[in-house]
Amino acid sequence: MSDTVIMPRPQAHPLAGRTMTGAQMIVQVIADEGVSAIFGYSGGAILPTYDAVSLHNEAQRLAGGREVPLIVPANEQGAGFMAAGYARSSGRVGVAIVTSGPGATNTVTPIRDSMADSVPIVVICGQVPTAAIGSDAFQEAPVASIMGSVAKHVFLVTDPTKLEATVRTAFEIARTGRPGPVVIDVPKDVQNWQGEFRGEGTLPIPGYRRRMDDSSACALDEAGAARFFDLLGASRRPLIYAGGGVTNGSAAGALREFARAFDLPVVTTLMGIGAMDTTDPLCMRMLGMHGAAFANYAVEDCDFLITVGARFDDRVAGVPQRFAAKARAIAHLDIDRAEINKVKRVQWSHVGPLREALAALTAAGRRLGARTDNAAWRAELAELRRVHAMNYDRESPLIQPYYVIEEIARLTHGEAIVSTGVGQHQMWAAQYCEFREPRLWLTSGSMGTMGFGLPAAIGAQVANPDRLVIDIDGDASVRMNIGELETATTYGLPVKVVVLNNFGDGMVKQWQKLFFKGRLSASDKSLHKKDFVRAAQADGFEYAVRLDRKADVPRVVREFLEFRGPAFLEVIIDPDAGVYPMVGPGQSYDKMITGDFIAARSAPPPDAVAPDSSEMF
């Protein structure tokens, strides 16, 4: 008998060989990629593709197939953030389709936001016909030039025969390696072109694929693992510092197994929240500028820092040379080689997919018989957590924002998807919410984009129709994209929107009180006339309530969360509530300000030190 194995030929795409327009090819590839919804706003230069979406869904309805719903936002920025919320919460590539000119430029902010937080989205922009490019035609914008500086990659499709392969390649680039946004600029004549649909094929991008192959093949060897466990064995206070790369790399399960196998406590960055179950005894919560005091003290005390998918950014390591100063060694695992030794010198590193690297470390440690005795260290951390626990003025007659978020956390058991805008409410949610799983925490980290929360929640609800999705927002941040309230009701999305109203830009006011002698320049909104409840009612919210009595908090929060359908809750909070702890920009953790209700390990600085001109916000 012959031992030759005959492999089955790959099955051809059922539509291969069919004549399609370029627009139909775009939509078919999107459907083939498993995208379950598209977010976008139409316009002249993208009309052929919008028509193709309609034709595709009509054909699917007749055939009993899967449609790709089109969610139309109030503006294109909302579409970009919806695609990002879809991607962040599901791990799948989000898609936005917009028209040329202002349609495209309105997506610059969500594209940059997705690049900064490593979020995979594909944005397809209509463009003026090929022959008109460069003529300042109606609604023309130099998309490739604009987006090239903010996206992971940009394609301008001028050869229609390459359109189908380009769309597939965009998805490949968006999701692989360090994820990010990819933009495809498609002239109107390319959308209208007719040609043969191949049903397969991508563009030749040998340099990129070689880097991806090299990264995937970079397995942790025995010698590297042995060096790591030598460092771990010599330590008495090891600590994992986990960032957003853990979630982006689908490595949360591997991280948890690794931490539990060797009894390693974990602190997370803002973007890493949920990588470790926040209720797990090993989880020491968030570190950094507004991290828990006990988390920051744990970093100060550790002697071996194991950095996983994090980048020592300025919100965490304000003074890099003083960050984890007692650590005799630092290890760093990341998918991006550029992050190794970029900010902080490390003694051990590995570049490659985090899930595989952590699994390999766990297996190697077990083979090597690695043992850790962290009982004394764990006891120290438990005492830090007890003495320096998060706290606030629980006797205040005013509604404290922390109390509201504690109630939300108590009722949702760490199982809800929570998105936020940017500001004080974002930090309060990070500090007081619970997250049992990854991809439940959606926030704009690196860019800090106000207006992110509401559209991101809508995108997450579309991606996760059976989950409770809550946007915890601020009165200033929600204003930025408040038009998306109508999007939630238009599509019957049961998003829960809570606005913590302190009548202004709370975080800016906090900084102005600390560093600018209380001059509230342009940040006090107490005289503004917005009636948020009426605005929500006007946009179709059947449940729209203002909460202004502390005694009503438990009852109203429960009613709000249990309401079937979209719900809106405005909470009038203490306007002077602050975010504590706080480490000033360019300051080390020993200068941490803990406020009046969180115990500091040492006397706080007598006065907040104003940042100099070289320091960031």
Residues that are catalytic? 76, 138-139, 188, 507
Continuous segment of H or E residues that includes residue 185: strand 182-187
Q: Per DSSP, which regions of 188-256 are E strands?
A: 194-196, 238-242
On whether the CB atoms of residues 461 and 495 are closer than 8 A, the answer is yes
> How long, in residues, is the chain?
617
Q: Which two tokens stand for residue 411?
A: 């009722």
> Number of H helices and number of E strands within the chain?
23, 20
Sign of the Cα torsion 494, 500, 504, 508 reads negative
CB atoms within 10 A of CB 377: 22
**Integer Cα distance of 379 and 334 in angstroms:** 30
Report the side by side order of strands in the sheet with 38-41: 70-71, 38-41, 94-98, 121-127, 182-187, 153-156
Q: Which two tokens stand for residue 335?
A: 């998918």
> Bridge partners of 449?
none
Q: Name the residue among 577, 574, 596, 575 with its Cα closest to residue 399.
A: 574
On whether the CB atoms of residues 611 and 584 are closer than 8 A, the answer is yes
Q: Which residues of 243-266 are buried (b: 16+ CB within 10 A; e: fewer)?
A: bbbbbbbebbebbbebbebbebbb
Contacts with 585 (C-beta within 8 Å, 6 or more apart), sequence order: 289, 314, 318, 611, 615, 616, 617
**Integer Cα distance of 600 and 585 in angstroms:** 18
What secondary structure does DSSP assign to 501-555, as a single string? E-SB-HHHHHHHHHHSTT--TTTB-TT----HHHHHHHTT-SEEEEE--GGGHHH
On whether the CB atoms of residues 395 and 564 are closer than 8 A, the answer is no
